[in-house]
Amino acid sequence: MARTTASAFLSILLLSAETAAWGNLGHTTVALIAQSFLSPQTVNFTQSLLNDTSSTFLANVATWADSYRKEPGGEFSGVYHYIDALDSPPASCDVDYDRDCPEEGCIVSAIANYTTRVQSSNVSFAERQKALKWIIHFVGDIHQPLHVENLAVGGNLINVTFEGASANLHRIWDSDMPEKLIGGYALEDALDWSSSLLEDIKAGGKYANQSSTWLTGIDVNDAIASSMHWAQDANAYVCSTVVPEGQEAVEGKELEGEYYDAAIPVIQQQIAKAGYRLAAWLNLIVTGQTGVGGEYVSLTRPAWKRWEDGKREVQLEDWMVEARRVRRAFGSDCGPAGHHH
Ligand SMILES: *[C@@H]1O[C@H](CO)[C@@H](O)[C@H](O)[C@H]1NC(C)=O
Ligand SMILES: *[C@@H]1O[C@H](CO)[C@@H](O)[C@H](O)[C@H]1NC(C)=O
Ligand SMILES: *[C@@H]1O[C@H](CO)[C@@H](O)[C@H](O)[C@H]1NC(C)=O
Ligand SMILES: *[C@@H]1O[C@H](CO)[C@@H](O)[C@H](O)[C@H]1NC(C)=O
Ligand SMILES: *[C@@H]1O[C@H](CO)[C@@H](O)[C@H](O)[C@H]1NC(C)=O
Ligand SMILES: *[C@@H]1O[C@H](CO)[C@@H](O)[C@H](O)[C@H]1NC(C)=O
Ligand SMILES: [Zn+2]
């Protein structure tokens, strides 16, 4: 990926610099990693649908969904950026589709919906294009542990400081910690980060022997089960790394030290996984093969009902009803930004 091509897109990316979810850096890096694993037919399919044959065709739309949710008519998609797991970290972490994905939808139902729509001959070109842009974005978001957690509105209500500046826990996982690691949030920074993570994924790299396990359970005909697996995987880090000693242990604290040191390996691995899984997912949609060399391993998993068939009735406990009320009152966007770019 040439630096010269990169700079041409910088201005486009900067227009949407104030984003929610993995910030620009994370989403763009995920898309760049995914691009390098796409099969030739998938490149053709995605370039045609995106109407973009540039060298950064996936990266160019990686944060579109964060702008669209703020546009008139796009607000409905705000809730699709997360699933609020009503679990109890740090004692227990888990995501339950029937319990956690409410009537208005969530990231898991959205990945399923847009996976169907991007392939449907009954959906207009413009809507299939949007479906693809949402998939590119949501496969990124679902790897951010605080996008698969209800606690304090995904950490938005947990105030912390980072390098002396006021922030919240959600915000530092989305942007502040990745940006401290890489040193910026521009396309060039994402190109640097993606190159380094691609080395880690390739033969001899630190993720080489685990990357095939990242595709465990992937099944393009069961997008709910596949994306629930990704959600469970990310949600486990809420207990182990995000709030290992509970919310109170991080509330009001400066997190640039040991906390950051423990979080960074998880952030790096989640970004790498998201890019790898996004490529496999798009390859499966277009070609029926993951295209990344990983074996297709089916999981022994709970029998998630196909989303079209409706969901099992779950009686929410009082605290869960209250937690969901707090989320809805807060809204679907991320909290006050720790900083603006
Ligand atoms: C590339 O995509 C276009 C549009 O989807 C399609 O018509 C064409 O057959 C594809 N070409 C190849 C080589 O797959
Ligand atoms: C594709 O992009 C070109 C150049 O930007 C534009 O002229 C054309 O209308 C676009 N086509 C579609 C289908 O959006
Ligand atoms: C699927 O996506 C379409 C287009 O964005 C939307 O109108 C519809 O409500 C979605 N359906 C579900 C079940 O999320
Ligand atoms: C295609 O869309 C039309 C109008 O939205 C709908 O009535 C029809 O059932 C759809 N067909 C299929 C095969 O989904
Ligand atoms: C967190 O910070 C915001 C302003 O950044 C403030 O409005 C809010 O009251 C704070 N919450 C707590 C629990 O201190
Ligand atoms: C990957 O290799 C390392 C040693 O290089 C080993 O400790 C680890 O268990 C291996 N992981 C898998 C999933 O095989
Ligand atoms: Zn998002």
Binding site membership of 210 for ligand 6 (Cβ less than 6 Å): yes
Nearest to 336 by CA among 159, 205, 183: 159
Binding site membership of 302 for ligand 5 (Cβ less than 6 Å): no
Residue 292 confidence class, pLDDT cut points 50, 70, 90: confident
Binding site membership of 210 for ligand 1 (Cβ less than 6 Å): no
pLDDT at 259 over 50: yes
Q: Using one digit for the tens of pLDDT, what is the confidence trace for 84-93?
A: 999 999 999 9
Binding site membership of 159 for ligand 5 (Cβ less than 6 Å): yes
Q: Using one digit for the tens of pLDDT, what is the confidence trace for 208-253?
A: 989 989 998 899 989 999 999 999 999 999 999 999 999 999 999 9
Q: Any alpha helices (H) in 186-316, and if so which ranges?
A: 187-201, 223-237, 258-287
Give this prediction's pTM.
0.89
Q: Using one digit for the tens of pLDDT, what is the confidence trace for 318-338?
A: 999 999 999 999 998 765 443
> What is the CATH superfamily name and number for domain 20-325?
P1 Nuclease (1.10.575.10)
As a whole number of angstroms, the distance between CA 89 and CA 92 comes to: 5
The fraction of the chain above a pLDDT of 70, given in percent, is 86
Q: What is the mean pLDDT of the chain?
A: 88
Nearest to 216 by CA among 291, 294, 138: 294
Q: Using one digit for the tens of pLDDT, what is the confidence trace for 55-109?
A: 999 999 999 999 999 999 999 999 999 999 999 999 999 999 999 999 999 999 9
For the CA of 82, the nearest ligand: 7
- 209, 210, 297: which to mutate for ligand 6, most atoms within 8 A of CB? 209
pLDDT at 110 over 70: yes
List residues with catalytic annotation. 22, 27, 66, 69, 81, 137, 141, 147, 170, 174
Q: Using one digit for the tens of pLDDT, what is the confidence trace for 11-35?
A: 344 333 344 468 899 999 999 999 9
State the closest ligand 6 atom to the C-alpha of 210, by its place in the atom list counted from 1.
13
- Contact in structure between 209 and 48 (CB atoms under 8 Å): no
Q: Using one digit for the tens of pLDDT, what is the confidence trace for 271-283?
A: 999 999 999 999 9
Residue 315 confidence class, pLDDT cut points 50, 70, 90: very high
What amino acid is encoded at 288 in this protein? Answer: G
Query: Averaged over 150-178, what is the pLDDT?
Result: 97
Query: Which residue has a Cα nearest atom 13 of ligand 6?
Result: 210
